[in-house]
Amino acid sequence: MKRKLPAAVFVMLGTMVSSCAGSGTYYVRVAPPPPRYGVLGVAPGAGFVWTEGFWDWRGGSWFWVGGRWLRPPHRRGVWVAPAWRQEGRGWRFHRGYWR
């Protein structure tokens, strides 16, 4: 027996995927929890930069993505940390990037 999913499910999934992949941002109505802090440790080598952890919205709940050491993709690369910014009645996530 074949089951058909309503077209609304495909539209909803397509909108969610395109909003995350296309712009690198997404919007939720629930404020993120306060950031977590911990010990950084020692960089694995010269030139590595610590990138802070952040709260991500996955499957309808908050998930902590831990920070890590990364090597910049080019000389003088500066890491712009990901951030949640309040917009209207909700929160918009802006992914981190190198500039």
Is residue 77, in this structure, part of any structural domain at all? yes
For position 41, what pLDDT does the model report?
A: 87
* Strands 49-51 and 68-70, sheet pairing: antiparallel
The DSSP call for residue 46 is T
Is residue 16, in this structure, part of any structural domain at all? no
For position 86, what pLDDT does the model report?
A: 95
| Count: domains in the chain | 1
DSSP 80-96: E--EEEEETTEEEEE--
Domain housing 80: 26-98
Is residue 9, in this structure, part of any structural domain at all? no
> pLDDT 10s per residue in the chain (99 long)?
444 544 433 333 333 333 333 355 679 999 999 999 888 889 999 999 999 999 999 999 999 999 999 999 999 899 999 999 999 999 999 999 999
pTM equals 0.69
